[in-house]
Structure 1
Amino acid sequence: MRKLKWILGLVLVLVAMAVFFTLRTPGHLYVNSGEFTDCPARPSCVSSMATDGTHGIAPLRARGDVTATMSMMARHLSSLPGASIEHLGPGYLHVVFVSPKMRFHDDLELLVGDGQMINVRSISRFGYRDFGVNRDRVEALRAWLDEEQSRPDWEQPER
């Protein structure tokens, strides 16, 4: 009986930790820190600022007005299941994705860089591995953006 109570207590503590880490907005986000921070050592993060193979991913490229492109991406991302726009400001976009089954939260940040470059960072709030979910999310956004920008009628997205 005592062992069962100990195991139950441990499970409750782990669940409470998962909820705490998943629901609160992390302080390392650009909107809070003013810096586009590096990925932590765990593999559940990708960033265009990272130089290592585990975390590194190419930045996105805008064709035309980068501000209008950011607005267009915000509209697209907000239409995806489990996505919600948390911050949209000049040159910055923060989207939170909630997984359907386990309700895990991932943060996607887009930050306008030099010229037509858009830096990207996608990170899981909880857990060590993400099984490539964040990398796949960024690559799906890249494919969508490339397809939109390759249309013959592409000039400038609507603001």
Structure 2
Amino acid sequence: MIFAGKRPNNLGVKDGKLAPCPPSPNCVCSQASDSLHQIAPLSFTSTPEQALSQLKSIIISLPRTKIIAETEFYLYAEFKTALMGFVDDVEFHLDRNSSIIHVRSASRLGYGDLGLNRQRIEKIRALFNQSN
């Protein structure tokens, strides 16, 4: 794909944290402290295993999505836009002690995203809360 870009090499969890967002407005992260990038994590009342399994089912059900990496506390998926095939990198990090799942959604290319990354996480949150 012409607009796919290269997969970032700074993804994953380091010291309990997802990668920080770049200064551009095309990224949201539940571990960010600034209002431009900050978004609430997902919270759950089920077991951590059930929560991650449910989240994975939701991601698989969404169009143009591919799970790239998965562990017992981490999920990384690529989401492709319908029209131009732009790729967004979306990560989820399970915090067992707090019963939350931290989220990060970032566009690979470009500067702005018209709020798409935030909308995606809120859609996933709505689906997750329905089933949780």
TM-score by length of 1: 0.76
| Counterpart secondary structure, 2:125 | helix
1:85 matched to 2:35: no
The structure carrying a bigger helix percent of its residues is 1
Shift in Å at residue 23 of structure 1? 3.8
The residue aligned with 1:137 is 120
Cα drift, residue 102 of structure 1: 0.6
Structure 1 runs, 4 residues or longer, greater than 6 Å off: none
The equivalences for 1:95-134 within 5 A come to: 95-113=77-95, 114-134=97-117
Per the alignment, residue 39 of structure 1 pairs with: 21
**Which sections of structure 2, spanning at least 5 residues, go unmatched?**
none
What is the alpha-carbon distance in structure 2 between the residues aligned to residue 44 and residue 107 of structure 1?
11
Which structure has the highest strand share of the two? 2
Corresponding residue of 2:130: 147
1:54 is the counterpart of 2:40? no
- In structure 2, distance between residues paired with 1:68 and 1:24: 32
RMSD: 1.8
Amino acid across the alignment from 2:88: D
**Percent same amino acid at aligned positions?**
35
Larger Rg: 1
Give the letter aligned to residue 71 of structure 2. G
